[in-house]
Chains A and B, each alone.
Chain A
Amino acid sequence: SYLLTQPPSVSVAPGKTARISCGGSDIGGKSFHWYQQKSGQAPVLLIYYNTDRPSGIPDRFSGTYSGNTATLTITRVEAGDEADYYCQVWESSTDDVVFGGGTRLTVL
């Protein structure tokens, strides 16, 4: 089955920029979606179609896509951004949904 690779953890100081990567083989043409999951809560959609933000999501959160990697960027990081972040794609050949393993963001 298709695999998405995320770093297990990322640490960043408040006010700085955090970048979380999501990679996979042959990801050309796939669209990446990102979710934030705070401790004890359900995931929340942050980014869809690589770069689009649902209403209500601050513009500090942004997505980019280049080569074999998608990246979630969080600028001006706040303590409240501490959470697990998951990327997700749809594998069209099998009509399956695939999630990355998740990245825990720690705000120092």
Chain B
Amino acid sequence: QVQLQESGPGLVKSSETLSLTCTVSGGSLGSYYWSWLRQPPGKGLEWIGYVSYSGTTKYNPSLKSRVTISLDKSMKQFSLKLTYVTTADTAVYYCAREERGWESRWFDPWGQGALVTVSS
């Protein structure tokens, strides 16, 4: 059963770069898309973007200018970089496997989440 685990600093200074890594275990990276999502405290879910096994990426238009998602097949990891962070980027960041079917996409499973606080 595939499991995902986020890792990275829990505190980032404003204007700096947030970096997180998701390690995939118990399954293959191939044939799937791998996504990052986030949830500000007390708020709803927001999709950040994905990277495919072939390296194709797609980002939420609202974050596109600051986001990079990459894949390291040898380590079975994918990573998120978010530049020029502000306090509005404080959130629990989740990694998830993206399932795709006919004309739709959904997320299963999810990592446990990593709280990242941006200090001013």
A residues at B contact (CB < 8 Å) = 1, 29-31, 33, 35, 41-45, 48-49, 54, 86, 88-90, 92, 94-102
Asked whether B110 lies within 8 Å of A43 as measured between CB atoms, the reply is yes
Q: How many residues from B make CB contacts under 8 Å with A?
A: 22
Asked if B94 is at the interface (CB within 8 A of a chain A CB), the reply is yes
Asked if B99 is at the interface (CB within 8 A of a chain A CB), the reply is yes
Asked whether A102 lies within 8 Å of B44 as measured between CB atoms, the reply is yes
Given A42-B113, A43-B110, are A49 and B104 neighbors across the interface (CB < 8 Å)?
yes
Consensus secondary structure, chain B interface: strand
A31 to B73, CA, bound (A): 31
Asked whether B103 lies within 8 Å of A97 as measured between CB atoms, the reply is no
Given A90-B103, A99-B45, A99-B47, are A54 and B58 neighbors across the interface (CB < 8 Å)?
no
Given A95-B58, A96-B60, A96-B61, are A45 and B107 neighbors across the interface (CB < 8 Å)?
yes
Asked whether B103 lies within 8 Å of A99 as measured between CB atoms, the reply is no
Asked whether A86 lies within 8 Å of B61 as measured between CB atoms, the reply is no
Given A30-B104, A42-B94, are A97 and B111 neighbors across the interface (CB < 8 Å)?
no
Contacts of B47 in A (CB 8 A): 96-99
What would 10 A/B residue contacts be, using CB atoms closer than 8 Å? A29-B103, A30-B104, A33-B106, A42-B110, A48-B99, A88-B106, A90-B103, A94-B61, A99-B44, A102-B44
